Amino acid sequence: MTQFQLNEDQALLLDHADKFGREQLLPLAERMDNEEWWPDDLMPKLGELGFLGVTVPEKYGGVGMGYVEAGVILQAFSRYNHAFGLSWVAHDNLCANNLYNNGNENIRERYLPKLCSGEWTGCLGLTEPGAGSDALGSMRTRAIKDGDNFIINGSKLYITNGPVADVCLLYAKTEPGQGSKGITAFAVETNSPGFKVAQKLKKMGFRGSQTAELVFEDLVVPRDNIVGEENQGHKVVMSGLDFERAMIAPINVGMAERALALSVDYAKTREQFGKTISEFQMIQSYLADMYTWIETMKTFSWQVLAESDNVEGHEAGRGEIHARTAASVMYCANMCNRVLDYAVQIHGGSGYIWESEVNRLFRGTKLLEIGAGTTEVRKMIIAGELLK
């Protein structure tokens, strides 16, 4: 599917989400960054407006659109409040979309309507203190059978939405000694006895996006809460990560777009040596590079999102889509870093001040080269598929 530009409906959706982001999300961004504050009333509002459950069918309370549509919403939100954009994608893609793709009817009917309405917020529990890039092979959280239940003990780290989530898609070892396999995925309600938020983590960037360490102490989870098949959770992880990588790329696009807009405005108003800095060829060169990188980021991310729409959940995690999603997020993250580096350079001293918007954007870039698989892991995936 060729997706080098948006169709009319997708362009209108981008404009609609942009308007919401500019009017509703931008005014919250500074407080969210300064105080690591979370707006509790925002998710239900998004549910009412049809900005949740984007890839979930209407049958379960969603809006039944595709990854391209979800991506342009995230792109627009991230222009004005990238911290909220990250929380949105953790809820809507990592949790809700995963539950739809891999859950049975019981799971879908129990959890998706409340996630799509914004009554509940979702998170994904995969990474652990000793299991980052090797999240599957080094997983220590254990789930032991006890009749019709599983007893889970362990911990998860760097969990986006962890402090505010009502539902967690949680991974635990159910068959030790199987390396990266022998894992099971569970849908867990966070108010269950034994589910604890050990600490809320303070971060360099994306500060308004709530991040936590989670601890499980004799957490009882019914067998009915298994997502996918018992001991086959690695399939859920790998397919979900491909869609996650495709969906993380638009955060980079939105942040870079905002950085360029701020840089153009600043260059046209900042005066030095008797003229605006926009008249200097070096500044013009920076702006031209930033524009070109952003245009290629947009077309690549849209293309891969469109390709993801044509892949069934069980087909992800291997093959060309595995390499393409890794390449998309890797390229967009690398280019976002370069765009923000130029943006701070154009802003000079004002860009180095913590309170400035361009500084807030700059502090967020590094996470995008680490989350959903580091740049190095992304390269390993791409090379691995090329060399097969």
Q: Of 140, 196, 195, 151, which is closest to residue 173 (Cα–Cα)?
A: 140
pLDDT, tens digit (0-9, with 9 covering 90-100), for 346-375? 999 999 999 999 999 999 999 999 998 899
In-domain check, residue 214: yes
Can you give the pLDDT at residue 44? 97
Cα within 13 Å of Cα(171), Cβ side:
32
Q: Of 153, 149, 150, which is closest to residue 139 (Cα–Cα)?
A: 153
Do 95 and 164 belong to one domain?
Answer: no
Do 249 and 331 belong to one domain?
Answer: yes
Cβ-Cβ contacts under 8 Å for 318 (sequence gap 6 or more):
238
Residue 126 corresponds to which tokens in the numbers above?
């995969």
Which of residues 161 and 238 earns the better pLDDT score? Answer: 161
Under a CB-based contact definition with an 8 Å cutoff, are residues 125 and 187 in contact?
no
pLDDT, tens digit (0-9, with 9 covering 90-100), for 158-195? 999 999 999 999 999 999 888 778 999 999 999 999 99
In-domain check, residue 1: no
Can you give the pLDDT at residue 317? 72
Give the total number of structural domains in the chain: 3
Cα gap 68→74, rounded to integer Å? 10
Can you give the pLDDT at residue 356? 97
In-domain check, residue 2: no
| Catalytic member of 36, 128, 213, 244 | 244
User: Which of 91, 106, 121 lies at the terminal end of a domain, its last residue?
Assistant: 121
Cα gap 253→293, rounded to integer Å? 10
Angle at 49 between CA 43 and CA 51, to 5 degrees: 65
Can you give the pLDDT at residue 198? 96
Can you give the pLDDT at residue 313? 64
Do 237 and 357 belong to one domain?
Answer: yes
Do 223 and 279 belong to one domain?
Answer: no
Do 132 and 162 belong to one domain?
Answer: yes
Can you give the pLDDT at residue 132? 80
Residue 244 known to be catalytic: yes
Torsion angle (degrees, nearest 10) of CA 352, 355, 361, 363:
70
First to last CA, the chain: 25
Cα gap 126→131, rounded to integer Å? 9
Can you give the pLDDT at residue 177? 85
Do 306 and 373 belong to one domain?
Answer: yes
CATH number at residue 59: 1.10.540.10
Which residues on adjacent β-strands are paired with residue 150? Answer: 145, 221
Do 207 and 310 belong to one domain?
Answer: no
CATH number at residue 147: 2.40.110.10
In-domain check, residue 68: yes
Least confident of 9-23, 98-112, 123-137: 123-137
The runs of H, that is alpha helices, within the chain are 8-20, 26-35, 42-49, 67-80, 82-89, 98-102, 105-117, 233-269, 281-309, 319-347, 357-364, 375-386
Do 244 and 151 belong to one domain?
Answer: no
CATH number at residue 308: 1.20.140.10
Q: Is the pLDDT of residue 2 over 60?
A: no
Can you give the pLDDT at residue 3? 60
Q: Of 148, 155, 217, 145, which is closest to residue 184 (Cα–Cα)?
A: 145
Do 71 and 152 belong to one domain?
Answer: no
Crossing angle of the two packed helices 82-89 and 26-35, in degrees rounded to 10: 90
In-domain check, residue 271: yes
Do 78 and 202 belong to one domain?
Answer: no
Do 190 and 110 belong to one domain?
Answer: no
In-domain check, residue 81: yes
Residue 254 corresponds to which tokens in the numbers above?
């939105």
Rounded to an integer, the average pLDDT of 288-307 is: 97
pLDDT, tens digit (0-9, with 9 covering 90-100), for 85-122? 999 999 999 999 999 999 999 999 999 999 999 999 99
Q: Is the pLDDT of residue 319 over 90?
A: no
Domain that holds residue 64: 8-121
Q: Is the pLDDT of residue 71 over 90?
A: yes
Do 245 and 374 belong to one domain?
Answer: yes
pLDDT, tens digit (0-9, with 9 covering 90-100), for 242-268? 999 999 999 999 999 999 999 999 999
pLDDT, tens digit (0-9, with 9 covering 90-100), for 51-64? 999 999 999 999 99
Least confident of 34-43, 126-135, 327-336: 126-135
Of all residues in the chain, what percent carry a pLDDT higher than 90? 88
In-domain check, residue 31: yes
Can you give the pLDDT at residue 136? 87
User: Which of 170, 195, 227 lies at the terminal end of a domain, its last residue?
Assistant: 227
In-domain check, residue 16: yes
Per-residue burial over 77-90, b if 16 or more Cβ lie within 10 Å, else e, is bbbbbbbbbbbbbb
* Mean pLDDT of the chain, nearest integer: 95
Sign of CA dihedral 137, 366, 97, 55: negative
User: Which of 96, 121, 146 lies at the terminal end of a domain, its last residue?
Assistant: 121
pTM for the complete prediction?
A: 0.95
